[in-house]
Structure 1
């Protein structure tokens, strides 16, 4: 029997009614979110509105208080260490989160050194391949302190896309980026933005990503779909072109950087 081409595809990741509070502060309030395979989704909104919290919940690093998380149709129970997701999910943290006492090669290959049976020679080869992909070939013997901020970000990208050829089912299919261009100058930001898109299109590398960003250029150059998070809920979603045409007052205030509007100013 022929496949039904009109049948909707199963979402890669789905959040249903996800809530999260810290003390009396409600961060996420019954959020529904669907992420499709191959999507470039950017989450925007004012500081402190739960954007990074969503990333950590998707990554399995933080539990939700309520709601359900489905990864490729499989309901996740507990945190990432409590079980295995049907796909690999990697996260790039805002501050790169490299080990200062380890070389670039040791940072990028850390998970393989700790959790694989691969030889050191094989791991070094895999690390160099990933460093070449992010434009840092030949830097494996350097330490994080010897690198610029943009280079450290790229090292963290190389680590995020590292995979074990012996366990292809665990290879990352999704990358979560938390403010990947924060603190970088405009030129370094452009390098990172281009790299995000290039990695998405590279054969054998994650084709889906979710990003949190405040940077106007980063949002416009890396997003296919944008969601605006405020007050614990998704208030608007659209594509990049709709940024300049929507009449949503939250989006208009955010991109105009106006202090007047519905977004409360936090001193």
Structure 2
């Protein structure tokens, strides 16, 4: 059997008395596009932060490329690079696009500024935004900021190939965008999966039906801290699972309860 690239085994996480994840098992395989869906507040973003190593589980184990993670990502050197794309783009307002995309290289590499700028321009070309390196985030539309954040996520360091991202984690990448801008981002995410210099494996948290169908291959449905359903994206159309049918129909009647 193919070994998962990342695996969660019996992972639980609580914040105070609120249990967000309860004994969750999850496997991510190289080259796949995995979607994590479910109602708001069910721990989807928490899973991303656990995978990224920004949070520790209260119980259970996380394996990355077959090695068990101990502590946070900053506490060890991992076999693969994992990059998180935040929902709000998380760009530094006081830095221009060039400085945002090349931030880690400017701060932590010995590359000359001219070389970093060249790498930034290559990533901007990759996301369809050539010639904007000197603009600031306030001068960009929401869709452009999303694309700049994607360029930053796939930025590679020629001096340290081991640190380059092999897995991208997308937290609501099309949230707040109009349908056309969402389609642009969905197509770009797919393009980056197959393009040299992109990233072939990704996990995506999303609520948007078009994004689920266009940008994921396999889907897990998370509710009340547990994985309630798992299947291929095409299985959504034929499943009789009541929670999946309710989620995609938008019905307020069913096992998924609307929070007061």
TM range (shorter): over 0.9
For 2:34, which of 35, 38, 41 is the aligned residue?
A: 41
How far residue 84 of structure 1 moved from its aligned partner, in angstroms, is 1.4
Tell whether the 8 Å contact from 2:65 to 2:79 is kept in structure 1 after alignment: yes
CA drift at 1:76 = 0.6
Q: Decide which of 204, 210, 228 is 2:221's aligned counterpart.
A: 228
Q: How far off its partner does 1:239 sit?
A: 1.1
Let me know the Cα RMSD of the aligned residues.
0.6
1:189 aligns with 2:174: no
Query: 1:139 is matched with which residue: 128, 132, 140?
Result: 132
Q: Mapping of 1:6-155 within 5 angstroms?
A: 8-155=1-148
Count residues with an aligned counterpart.
260
Structure-2 residue corresponding to 1:219: 212
Q: Which whole-Å deviations, capped at 9, do the CAs of 1:69-110 have from their partners, x for residues lacking one?
A: 000001111111111110000010000000000000000000
Note the C-alpha offset of 1:34: 0.5
1:255 Cα deviation from its structure 2 partner: 0.2
Contact 2:154 2:197 in 1 (8 A): no
Alpha-carbon contact 2:83-2:165 (below 8 Å) kept: yes
Measured in 2, the distance between the counterparts of 1:199 and 1:12 equals: 19
The partner residue of 1:201 within 184, 190, 194 is 194
Rounded to whole Å, the distance in 2 between the matches of 1:97 and 1:221 is 24
Question: How far apart, CA to CA, are the structure 1 residues paired with 2:238 and 2:133?
Answer: 46
TM-score by length of 2: 0.99
2-side partners of 1:153 and 1:84: how far apart?
Answer: 28
Report if the CA contact (8 A) 2:10-2:24 is conserved: yes
- State the TM-score, normalized to the length of structure 1: 0.96
The runs of 5 or more residues in structure 1 that have no matched partner are 1-7
Distance apart, 1:200 and its partner CA: 0.2
**Matched position secondary structure for 1:219:** helix
Deviation at 1:204, TM superposition (A): 3.4
Aligned residue number for residue 156 of structure 1 = 149
Query: How far apart, in 2, do the equivalents of 1:148 and 1:159 lie?
Result: 17
Unaligned runs of 5+ in 2: none
Secondary structure, aligned partner of 2:19: strand
User: Which 4+ stretches in 1 moved above 3 angstroms?
Assistant: none
Q: Which residue of 2 aligns with 1:5?
A: none
SS of the aligned residue for 1:229 comes to strand
